[in-house]
Amino acid sequence: MKEVDLIALAGLLHDIGKFGQRANEKLRGDFNKNIYGHKHSNYTAQILQDYFNDIESYHQASFEHHIVNKNSDINSWIVAVADRLASGFEREIFEDYNKNDEFENFKKQRLRGLFTEDKEYKIAPLSTKTIFYEENKSNENEYIKVWEIFKNDLDILSKTKGSSKTDLVSLDYLLKKHTTFMPSSTTFKISDYDSVKANIPLYDHLKATAIFAGAIYKLDNEKKQNLINYYKKTKPYKETKEFILINGDFFGIQDFIFNEIEAKSASKVLRGKSAFVQILTKIIAFYIIEKLKLSYLNIISENAGKFEILVPNNQEIIDNLNQIQNELNEYFVKEFFGETGVGISFIECGLLDFIQKDGYKNLRESLAKKVELSKLNKFDLLNSKYEINWDKELNNQNQCFACKKRVGNERKYIDKKVCDSCYRFIEIGKNLTKAKYLVITKDETSIEIFDGYYLKFLDKGENPKGLKNTVAIYDISKDTGFSGFAKWEISSYVATNENEILTFEELAKRSVKDGLVDGKREFGIEAIMSLKGDVDNMGKFLRETENISNSFAKFNFFSRMIDYFFSVYVPNTMREKYPNTYTIFAGGDDLFIIGAWDEVIELSKQIRQDFMKFVKGSPLSFSVGMILTKPNKPINFIARVSEEALENSKEMKNNEGKVIKDAISLFGETVKWKDYLDEDNALYFQEELYRIDKEVFELNTAFLYRLLELIHMRQNINKDITNTLWKSKINYLFNRNMLEKLKDKEKKEDLGYFLGLINTMIENCPDVSKMILSEFIYKRRD
């Protein structure tokens, strides 16, 4: 393991003792003496000896962070300074904090809610079931159970040890899994300062410390000593910029994924293309770390086509980043004709950006502006020349069916010609449905991703340790237990049959299950529904929530939890409850799903309901745009109209003309989620519509379409005075088509009541009424 990895790992483990202490582990011998400043540091020392002997030379740097003094070695000071930076503390506050020990009930105190500190999380491993607030108070020490699981997972890790790189990735994952919902510090008061609250996860504090430790270690001596002297108080601090915060951002993802793909074969290519973006994001982050000779732990995040890395600030690093940008530009022009690319933006930052009020908030705003500027100068075309190499022999007979930009070749199991580049996407998508492990390696395999980085997929029976130049190994299976390797939910969810991805035509045939009798459709249309969704008010929430925007560790917690909801929780929900759906992409703060049209409608309701539970207490909401189409429509058309529908939802206004978002667009209408899911009105009307049709009077198609016309009249009542007749026309329609034909008195009264309900719904909620009635018609239609 490289020296920079060892010092970063010492930072990652520096507070692991808090976990063991709160879980009632017993201290042995000298570890029971108060020689490390804080009791949890004694636990850290013992845990390091018991489980992490391979970094023994860095044990002291890890557990000595509370008792560093002028005589301590440089590595101990690096971890100590990283710890303080990760906490966002100025030195005076940290000295008071350093004197505090855990208060009496700290073993039962939970992590405060991310979106509101009035709520709390149960102390439990990170999973799709534990991301929601726990309403019941804790009456027991929840750490004990989690500690036992953690120790068992460490034992599994020790038996699957491979390269130092893969072990580092796996250990980082284990800490994220087990310490996400543990508070780094329990609530207490510091002198005259505001109370320290239990609102930052132990994991995010550990990871932030590792990030800073790796960057500080690689600083030149002058900047390194300048930082250390600030906390030593030996010399005045010279305000400078010690670090660089790097942001990598894919652009043109939609064009890259959707352009030119035939509808019939879209399902075979889309998942692979979407996964390729995620894989390439991770590999580019690895590539930058390798070029800059830093630690994997310096990667802050890499998901949804974006990555962030913290590195030391020097001219060599800046020159390397500019060179890497040029390499990426050449790669994307050569491989993908400039349809997509990655822009690397970076900003200098220093101590004060992480410890002063509004420092980190202002830093992120400045970085965001640089990211936007980079999008306006894609490929640096003013200063660079790139040549696009088209296949000279390309024609309509030999072109690749997927991209139509290269000559395609015949392949096994595929009845169309496909080029090497697009065949790679097909292979990725196919393997994601059945493989257990995804290996990123520098050993040559059939799937090359970028500049000597390759992929290899392994089944359950294969040994992932057998490769020589492994960069990382990920468990991508549906198994929930720890296999010894980091879990990566990249496979999301796609509907399959015997590991073969279902086509959109097959998904359409699975619509309206009640309409299938003995495998044949008797009623209900065959179609697919596309859903594009996006979180509302993210920027506003971050600007106004200081305890997130001003904290490096807390901001990272926020970002990864939002991503976890969409990249892990939503696909898991699809797998369990909505099998006939297909994830095109899900991550960051948005998603795009296609599937059997009626299932997607129900899925949208589930996602919105669960998201509002997830972010309870915050102004965040979730808007969606949905489009019903036949499965043979071009996928780029479906993507475009879905995006337009989402924009309609994002522009939803209230009666005063203020944009409120939090809306759904469906069947050509846009309404507030609150109105669409109103139990007393919309949902009750929908329930009664189905009941009347089944139990009282079968509603024929002509009658239903006439109702839609009358709803249209109500919607346009201000455009034509004759539209005010809509209500009398509904009464006439009911009397002529239904009431006059009924002989049963009770059913007649029931139908009369339903007429009143329809009048009320169309009067007050014509848009919602149209959406509900349209869904009913499509489910009933022959």
The tens digit of pLDDT for each residue in 229-241 reads: 998 888 888 889 9
> Taking the alpha carbons of 321, 323, 326, 332 in that order, is the dihedral positive or negative?
negative
* CA 560/CA 303 separation, integer angstroms: 9
- Using one digit for the tens of pLDDT, what is the confidence trace for 1-41? 899 999 999 999 999 999 999 999 999 988 887 777 678 88
pLDDT at site 465: 67
Decide if 606 contacts 624 (C-beta within 8 A): no
Q: Which two tokens stand for residue 318?
A: 């800046």
Cβ–Cβ under 8 Å, residues 717 and 723? yes
CA distance linking residue 163 with residue 468, whole number of Å: 9
φ, ψ at 760 (rounded to 5°): -65, -45
Q: What is the pLDDT of residue 263?
A: 78
pLDDT tops 90 at residue 64 = no
d(C-alpha 674, C-alpha 679), whole Å: 9
Q: What predicted TM-score, i.e. pTM, was given to this entire model?
A: 0.94
Angle, nearest 10°, between helix axes 766-780 and 597-614?
Answer: 140
The percentage of the chain sitting over the pLDDT mark of 90, rounded to a whole number, equals 66
Q: Does the structure show a pLDDT above 60 at 188?
A: no
* Closest to 528 in 3D by CA, of 542, 512, 541: 512
Q: Which residues of 666-696 are buried (b: 16+ CB within 10 A; e: fewer)?
A: bbebbbbbebbbeeebbeebbebbeebeeeb
Which of 306, 344, 302 has its CA nearest to residue 322? 344
Q: What is the pLDDT of residue 164?
A: 77
Q: Which residue, among 311, 269, 18, 270, has the nearest Cα to 143 in the 3D structure?
A: 18
CA–CA separation, 95 and 90 (whole Å): 9
pLDDT class for 166, splitting at 50, 70, 90?
A: confident
Question: Which tokens in the block code for residue 401?
Answer: 């069916």
Per-residue model confidence as pLDDT tens digits over 246-274: 999 999 888 888 877 877 778 888 999 99
Report the C-alpha gap between 203 and 183 in whole angstroms: 9
Q: Is the pLDDT of residue 693 over 70?
A: yes
Tell me how far apart the alpha carbons of residues 180 and 143 are, in angstroms, rounded to a whole number.
12
Cα gap 226→212, rounded to integer Å: 15
Q: Do 439 and 431 meet the contact criterion of CB atoms below 8 Å apart? A: no
3-state class percentages of the chain: helix first, strand second, coil last, to nearest 5: 50, 15, 35
The C-alpha atoms of residue 115 and residue 104 are separated, in whole angstroms, by 27
Tell me the mean pLDDT in the region 471-484: 92
- Give the separation between CA 50 and CA 32, rounded to whole angstroms: 15
- The pLDDT value recorded for residue 196 is 63
Question: Of the given ranges (49-53, 63-67, 582-586), which has the lowest mean pLDDT?
Answer: 63-67
* Element (DSSP H or E) covering residue 269: helix 266-292
Quick: pLDDT tens for 121-141.
999 999 999 999 999 888 889
The pLDDT of residue 102 is: 53
- DSSP H or E run through 627: strand 621-629
Angle, helix 221-232 to helix 91-99, in steps of 10 degrees? 60
What per-residue confidence (pLDDT) applies to 386? 72
Helix (H/G/I), strand (E/B), else coil: 19: helix
- In tens, the pLDDT along 281-302 reads 999 999 999 999 999 999 999 9
